[in-house]
């Protein structure tokens, strides 16, 4: 079946799903009710032709995904910040034996603040995954004289090791484990639909928690492609070498994005083979969700995507919405 073209992200106790310019964030609130917010997001770049040019569009789509991801995280976090503030207020009231009306906390998040946060995060990521491996490889140069390929190879391996190590370390955090469970719910909902199964809890439970269009796979592609391109960028001046690596970041992101798009719409054996490392890495960034998490994912999907219409377009019967594939 053709790709649904919907994508998403896990947030605090919830799932964000995006379909074209519409997105929804479904959150399981502290009282266990599900809150769903839908809105439109046209992207940071208003000149839309740039977002359709192959290899160029990946750069802008990556920036858009970061900004939208921050908006979704901010929305989900507000519920739990509010609960903490209410709890603190109640404790103060009990201590003072007084009563005061608790006002709803003001949301401080703005588009400008989120864009600034994204820029800071990108700068830190570049420092960690580009600058640090480069400096480490330069330090090895004194021990490996006359063989530039070995130095470049070491730089690439250090970058890859840092990335995988980072993924492993954060996967051990208790709070991140729950986010990864919602990440699994997001993937399983999309896989359920794209497998031709009605979107029910039982069908979602049976679906895979790995998906070829995942951001984890995109980032791994970025790391691997940067290693390949690193072998092509040689010059004697170390500052120029570093500058070339920084300038190539948009190119690397553009190539990785095209690979992810190809993987999402193709079942070619070669494409599937290339996608395998990303799917393996997703075993660290996804966890099996419980039924309540799956319910959140389903509500997020249904807020922006008519999967029944999608089935009709692909000639799939809806006679058995209870469970089995028709």
Rg (CA), the chain: 22
Domain span at 270: 7-96+107-313
Residue 27 placed within a domain: yes
Q: Residue 89: enclosing H or E segment and its boundaries? A: helix 57-96
The pTM (predicted TM-score) of the whole model is: 0.85
Q: What is the pLDDT of residues 250-289, one digit of tens each?
A: 999 999 999 999 998 888 899 999 999 999 999 999 999 9
Residue 194 placed within a domain: yes
Higher pLDDT, 188 or 172: 188
Residue 321 placed within a domain: no
Give the number of domains in the chain: 1
Residue 144 placed within a domain: yes
Residue 172 placed within a domain: yes
Residue 35 placed within a domain: yes
Which parts of 231-319 fold into alpha helices (H)? 238-247, 249-265, 269-285, 291-304, 307-313
Residue 102 placed within a domain: no
SS3 content of the chain, % helix, strand, coil (to 5): 65, 10, 30
* Confidence at 101, pLDDT banded by 50, 70, 90: very low
Residue 153 placed within a domain: yes
Among 81-90, 105-114, 225-234, 237-246, the least confident range: 105-114
């Amino acid at each position: 079946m053709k790709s649904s073209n919907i994508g998403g992200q896990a947030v605090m106790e919830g799932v964000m799903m995006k379909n074209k310019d519409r997105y929804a964030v479904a959150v399981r609130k502290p009282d266990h009710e599900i809150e769903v917010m839908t809105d439109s997001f046209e992207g940071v770049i208003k000149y839309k032709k740039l977002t359709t040019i192959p290899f160029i569009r990946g750069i802008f789509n990556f920036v858009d995904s970061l900004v939208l991801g921050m908006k979704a995280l901010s929305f989900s976090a507000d519920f739990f910040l509010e609960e903490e503030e209410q709890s603190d207020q109640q404790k103060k009231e009990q201590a003072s034996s007084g009563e005061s009306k608790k006002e709803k906390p003001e949301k401080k998040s703005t588009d400008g603040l989120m864009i600034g946060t994204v820029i800071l995060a990108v700068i830190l990521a570049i420092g960690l995954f580009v600058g640090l491996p480069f400096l480490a490889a330069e330090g090895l140069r004194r021990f490996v004289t006359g063989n530039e390929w070995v130095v470049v190879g070491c730089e690439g391996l250090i970058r890859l090791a840092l990335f995988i190590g980072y993924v492993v370390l954060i996967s051990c955090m208790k709070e991140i484990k729950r986010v990864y469970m919602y990440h699994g719910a997001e993937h399983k909902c999309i896989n359920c639909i794209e497998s031709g199964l009605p979107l029910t809890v039982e069908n979602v439970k049976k679906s895979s928690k790995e998906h070829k269009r995942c951001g984890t796979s995109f980032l791994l592609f970025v790391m691997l492609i940067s290693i390949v391109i690193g072998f092509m960028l040689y010059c004697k001046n170390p500052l120029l070498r570093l500058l070339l690596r920084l300038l190539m970041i948009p190119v690397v992101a553009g190539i990785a994005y095209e690979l992810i798009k190809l993987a999402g719409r193709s079942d070619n054996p070669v494409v599937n083979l290339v996608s395998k490392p990303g799917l393996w890495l997703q075993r660290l960034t996804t966890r099996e969700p419980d039924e309540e998490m799956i319910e959140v994912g389903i509500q997020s999907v249904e807020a922006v995507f008519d999967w029944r219409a999608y089935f009709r377009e692909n000639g799939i019967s809806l006679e058995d919405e209870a469970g089995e594939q028709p």
